[in-house]
Chain A
Amino acid sequence: MRELRYCEAISEAIVQCMAEDPSIFVAGEGVDDPVGTHGTTKEATRLFGRSRVLDLPNSENACAGVAVGAAAQGMRPLVVYTRQDFMFLAMDAVVNLAAKWRYMYGNKGGVPVVTRAVVGRGWGQGATHSQSLHSVFGHFPGLYVATPASPADAKGLLVQALRLDTPTVLVENRGLYQLTGPVPEEAVPIPFGRGRIARHGSDVTVVAASLMVHEAERAADLLAGQGIGVEVIDIRSIRPLDETIVCESVARTGRLVVADTSWARYGFSAEVAAVVAENLPGALRKPVRRLTLPDCPAPVSMPLEQAFHPNAGRIVEACLDLLDGGEVELSAFDDVASGVVGPY
């Protein structure tokens, strides 16, 4: 299969879906800019013009509701937020209206507003420009929330979102845009709620979302050299959540690490731990380990920021700890996203 970068896979999904469905339009701050949101909306602007790729003013609150209104009568808005942090201003329309529309108005149709929200870390982006908010949106019934980790999933999950009748939030980690991988040429949807085993292993399960899947895979590579089998589960979507794939793996390994780029309290990692506790109360040989953000906002200071983000090294340490397995040399073990040079 031919390979594409993550950003190219997104662009291809948008262009193919827009060509087959005239009701789809892209909207967001700067989406028609020559750079085109990390290159993801450039081709759509070239092919379909500014009548279908709308530059929005800094009115996140209203624009989120505008998208719901357009969707209410058959349009399919694809709203892009260059930083998910800005979505706090859009919460009312997303949570109070879009997520509840079908239920509250008696099942007279849905409002398929698809949102792409860029998250990420590094470069001193600080407290209000580097948050991953999938756990926040994952809380609300009525939404789908996906965290594509690979180019193929970035395409397939977006294609799926643009064909369903459900408001969806797709979380894209900035550190993944230049990642390459095999991507089908056709617009093949990937269903929500089905995780993927990224690495097979029998000693410890690592459940991860988005960027942390890659950190977990690197940890698995390193531990494989020690004879330790790490099973890496790429959850793909956190709502709906694939409980089965998590439980089946933990039933085999008896050890669980959850690696996530959001906070531990009430977050994705808490949810996965709860699913295991509810379904497999006797399966764990050791307590669950959660590798998440420390309980503080993101700092700008470089050493503090480096200590802030979970990475492969910490996953390795957690796995070894669960296996009582000594130590591994972790020097020169950069983060996956450390090669990213922007633009941020």
Chain B
Amino acid sequence: MSSTETQPEDTPIDHRTDLLRQMLRIRRFEERCAELYSASKIRGFLHLYVGEEAVAVGVTHALSEDDALVSTYRDHGHALARGVPMDAVMAEMYGKATGCSRGRGGSMHLFDVRRRFYGGNAIVAGGLPLSVGLALGDVMSGRRRVSACFFGDGAVAEGEFHECLNLAALWQLPVLFCCENNLYAMGTALNQAQAVTDLALRASSYGLTSWPVDGMDVIAVAEAAQRAVEGVRAGAGPCFLELRTYRFRAHSMYDPDRYRDKEEIERWKQRDPIDGLAADLRAHGELTDDELSGIEEGIKKELDQAVAMAETAPVEPVEDLTRFVYAERPR
């Protein structure tokens, strides 16, 4: 994809529709997960990404298969956008042996080394050094790949965030830092946690190219990510995108969400990235109701199948409880 700054007419019609489809796919997956959670089919943690889909879809769109991606505990959208099969993700939510982490990691630890998806990470900011290390390994091995890392605004409060930005800039590593600024670290508002809330500015102080992006507009995210990835891949050093977004639902299933104004939530919902793109495509005659129904139907089918497979999939035998702590056959 080319940047609209240079070739605004080049964005193909079916490509925008595909971005819409990907966002819808994540939205529907998570809505189903919430239902399954209420039905006690899914246990443990469930951090929903609803409202932030444009970020995962836009950023992963700019990455190639060879690039690496590191995620957070709010990782379903990242994994699905990266191409981790939905049935493997759903099975992991169920804790089944066919899950992408054998049912040992659960919602927060989705993993797929084949797709260079280096894991959900349940420690805030824990993924940042991982992406710096992946990039360091690439540079030391002479490979020209990009390592992208998602993290939230809450990660900015961790020392690791600052150490990692410095290391990546110091060593000029090919890292794309993608800050999903949804304004809240659990229930703590950004301005209650940070003296300086302009996160792109914070990043630039470490010598990184950085800029803020409208994280509710998937086209804007995809274009920004594309531009960033091109620079990083060309050896211009690490880049930092502050993706300004919002989660429509609570931090997790047990969060009563009392720290935000209902009005604020409603205001952001007016900027729903899926509704926005769908309306735009319709207005330009690029999407009919039938086409949208077709997309929804395809997603439902995939989802139904993923749930059905997860329901019937085996769990790991209890005898395997202590297996895979160590490699079973030393090299």
Residues of A that sit less than 8 Å from B by CB: 23, 25, 51-52, 57, 59, 61-75, 77, 92-93, 96-97, 102-110, 141-142, 163-166
Contacts and interface: CB of A to CB of B under 8 A. Distances in A.
7 contacts: A57-B167, A61-B160, A64-B129, A65-B126, A65-B133, A66-B164, A74-B141
Contacts of B101: 104-106, 108
Contacts of A67: 133
B121 interface: yes
A104 B109 contact: yes
Interface in B104-141: 104-105, 109, 111, 113, 118-119, 121, 123, 126, 128-138, 140-141
Contact of A69 (B102, B130, B163): B130
B206 to A, nearest CB: 12
Interface string B32-75: 00000000000000000000000000000000000010100000
B128 to A, nearest CB: 7
A59 B163 contact: yes
Contacts of B100: 106
Contacts, number: 141
A105 B105 contact: yes
Interface of B: 68, 70, 99-105, 109, 111, 113, 118-119, 121, 123, 126, 128-138, 140-141, 147, 159-160, 163-164, 166-167, 170, 323-327, 330-331
A105 B129 contact: no
A70 B134 contact: yes
Contact of B166 (A57, A71, A92): A57
Nearest to A144: B326
Contacts of A104: 101, 104-105, 109
Given A92-B126, A165-B330, A72 B134 contact: yes
Contacts of B135: 69
A102 B129 contact: no
A72 B130 contact: yes
A164 B330 contact: yes
Contacts of A59: 163, 166-167
Contacts of A102: 324-327
Contact of B137 (A75, A103, A142): A75
Contacts of A165: 327, 330-331
B118 A69 contact: yes
B114 to A, nearest CB: 9
Contacts of A107: 102, 323-324
Contacts of A52: 140
Given A69-B137, A164-B331, A97 B121 contact: yes
Nearest to B316: A106
Max chain A C-beta neighbours (<10 A), residue from B119, B129, B136, B166: B129
A141 B130 contact: no
Nearest to B92: A106
